[in-house]
Amino acid sequence: MQQWPVDAVAVAVIDSSGAVAGSHGPQDRPFRLASVTKLLSAYAVLLALQEGAIELDQPAGPPGATVRHLLAHASGLAYDTPQVSAAPGTKRIYSNTGFEALADAVASSSGIPFPEYLADAVLRPLGMSSSRLAGTAAAGGVSTCADLARFAAELQAPALLAPQILAEATQVTFPGLDGVLPGYGMQRPNDWGLGFELRDHKSPHWTGSQNSSQTFGHFGQSGTFLWADPVAHAACIALTNRDFGPWARTAWPHFSDEVLAELPHP
């Protein structure tokens, strides 16, 4: 990590108790999250489901698609346009537009603008006072490593969300769908949960070779990632100010393996 070609980096490892087991860099410095935003947005959607504001199988997005399709990048919407590229449930097409449609669905069903819903449902209850949605629900988040450590603790031992809902959200939704994992090419299959990208047996991948197949999380084009590994009983966050590129494809998996090697083993 010391040799990462970045001007600013903050990292943290969170153990299963929610405590920070190790950190480096400015924990309170805000960074652009890019697509790590999707983890926070998806959590708000799942809390809306828990509260009865929406249902997974209610129509949302393009014709024939539902909230479930949008969360799982299986609605058929293109990456960043409203164009429909496939029938719902037939292909894993990673879509920012789909998350914008999710935000619209929550706002329409709840009567609350999505940035406000996210703040009320996720950010404030977790004490994420330095986090905000400064743009779209797909990629407009700004946060700190300290705030995301609180979110990572929630992912390991959910207190806001019912554990059974999180368990469903971190299992494969629409199994067997192929698709492109941005930055890593075609994956067969490209498994995804309800908003969470799943490690499964993907190769290449941004997590480490020692991460379990149950690892879930997301990375962002702004040079950020967050993963939680239920087998290792740990989560890891990295925030940088350099956009994702070949440097990250090399550095991130190696760093994740180093983190896992340093964790205490049962």
State the average pLDDT for the chain: 97
Q: Please determine, for residue 35, whether its predicted confidence score (pLDDT) is greater than 80.
A: yes
239 strand-pairing partners: 10, 224
pTM: 0.97
Could you read off the pLDDT of 42-95 as tens digits, one per residue?
A: 999 999 999 999 999 999 999 999 999 999 999 999 999 999 999 999 999 999
Q: What distance in Å separates the CA atoms of residue 217 and residue 246, rounded to the nearest whole number?
A: 20
Q: What is the pLDDT of residue 2?
A: 59
Cβ atoms of 146 and 131 within 8 Å: the answer is: no
Give phi and psi for 224, each to the nearest 5.
Answer: -135, 155
Q: What is the DSSP string of 103-135?
A: HHHHHHHHSS-HHHHHIIIIITTTT-TT-EE-S
Cβ atoms of 196 and 152 within 8 Å: the answer is: no
CATH of 9-262, one of 3.40.710.10, 2.60.40.10, 2.40.10.10, 3.30.70.270: 3.40.710.10
Q: Please determine, for residue 40, whether its predicted confidence score (pLDDT) is greater than 90.
A: yes
Query: Of 58, 93, 46, 55, whose CA–CA distance to 74 is shortest?
Result: 93
Which of left, alpha, beta for 32 (phi over 0: left; psi -120 to 50: alpha)?
beta
Q: Please determine, for residue 187, whether its predicted confidence score (pLDDT) is greater than 80.
A: yes
Q: What distance in Å separates the CA atoms of residue 18 and residue 259, rounded to the nearest whole number?
A: 16
Q: What distance in Å separates the CA atoms of residue 7 and residue 35, rounded to the nearest whole number?
A: 20
Q: What distance in Å separates the CA atoms of residue 247 and residue 140, rounded to the nearest whole number?
A: 23
Could you read off the pLDDT of 153-169 as tens digits, one per residue?
A: 999 999 999 999 999 99
Cβ atoms of 178 and 189 within 8 Å: the answer is: yes
Cα dist. 227→61, 187, 221, 224 in Å? 28, 19, 15, 10
104: burial class by Cβ within 10 Å (0-12, 13-18, 19+)? middle
Dig out the tokens for 159 from the structure: 């207190």
The average pLDDT across 206-232 equals 98
